[in-house]
């Protein structure tokens, strides 16, 4: 079953999150998966385990407590967000393997761009020379996945310094621009999508 890709542009976080919830609640065994590519205006999101003390600097940026896994992260213009509306049951793999495949998609894209990157089994995400370039947060409900990944492309990284990114004090973040890649967010999405499609291919036969 082919996946539907939607390019949503710059959209507010909360209504997009609620749309993900509604899509997941309404989907059936025959609903095609969807990948939503977008950007958000500046917003901090706290996952289910998110602790307010990881917001270390007061700011005017909105803070939203949401239902994904993980701690606090920042979204803003110049960052590619891909929400993965996937029927997890179809894939026949475990959650850790799903996370690894999502990370691998970003690693494969960065390799194409001449950037060496890697994942960390103890701290989900993708890193370049010890600095985080992509974050990952998922929610699984009724065998379906929503939320997804964010990849820093060409953005103001300052708001990351006002939090402990993903709950890690002193964690540095980076972006494609800092490593010589001059892609726009839309161009980055276009190059990342084939890797996601390949790595997230269904791995078991469905009836």
118 is in an annotated binding site: no
The answer on whether 54 is annotated among ligand-binding residues is no
Q: Is 161 annotated as a binding residue?
A: no
Q: Is 175 annotated as a binding residue?
A: no
- Does the annotation place 146 within a ligand binding site? no
Is 167 labeled as ligand-binding? no
| CB burial of residue 60 (10 Å; 0-12, 13-18, 19+) | exposed
Q: Is 28 annotated as a binding residue?
A: no
Clarify whether 166 is annotated catalytic: yes
Question: Is residue 105 part of an annotated ligand binding site?
Answer: no
Beta bridge partners of residue 45, listed in sequence order: 64, 73
35 labeled part of a ligand binding site: no
Does the annotation list 24 as a binding residue?
no
Q: Confirm or deny that 149 is annotated as ligand binding.
A: yes
- Among the listed residues 166, 183, 193, 200, the single catalytic one is 166
Output the CA angle 74-100-177, nearest 5 degrees: 45
Residue 75, marked binder: yes
Q: How far apart are CA 128 and CA 179, in angstroms?
A: 9
For tokens 């726009």, name the residue: 184
Taking the C-alpha atoms of residue 32 and residue 120, their distance in angstroms, rounded to an integer, is 30
Distance CA 39, CA 56 (A): 24
Please list the active-site residues. 166
Annotated binding site: 68-75, 135-137, 148-150
Annotated binding site for substrate: 68-75, 135-137, 148-150
């Amino acid at each position: 079953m082919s996946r539907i890709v939607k390019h949503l542009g710059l959209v507010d976080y909360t209504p997009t999150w609620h749309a993900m919830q509604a899509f997941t609640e309404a989907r059936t065994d025959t609903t095609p998966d969807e990948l939503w590519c977008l950007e958000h205006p500046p917003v901090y999101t706290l996952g289910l385990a998110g602790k307010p003390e990881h917001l270390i600097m007061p700011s005017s940026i909105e803070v939203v407590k949401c239902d994904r896994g993980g701690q606090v992260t920042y979204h803003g213009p110049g960052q590619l967000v891909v929400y993965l509306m996937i029927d997890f049951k179809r894939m026949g793999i475990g959650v850790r393997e799903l996370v690894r495949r999502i990370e691998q998609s970003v690693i494969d894209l960065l390799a194409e761009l001449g950037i060496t990157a890697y994942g960390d089994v103890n701290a989900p995400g993708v890193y370049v020379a010890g600095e985080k370039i992509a974050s990952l947060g998922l929610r699984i409900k009724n065998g379906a996945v929503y939320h997804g990944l964010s990849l820093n492309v060409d953005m103001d990284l300052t708001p990351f310094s006002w939090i402990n990114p993903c709950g890690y004090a002193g964690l540095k973040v980076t972006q494609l621009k800092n490593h010589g890649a001059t892609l726009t967010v839309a161009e980055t999405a276009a190059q990342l999508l084939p890797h996601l499609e390949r790595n997230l291919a269904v791995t078991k036969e469905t009836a």
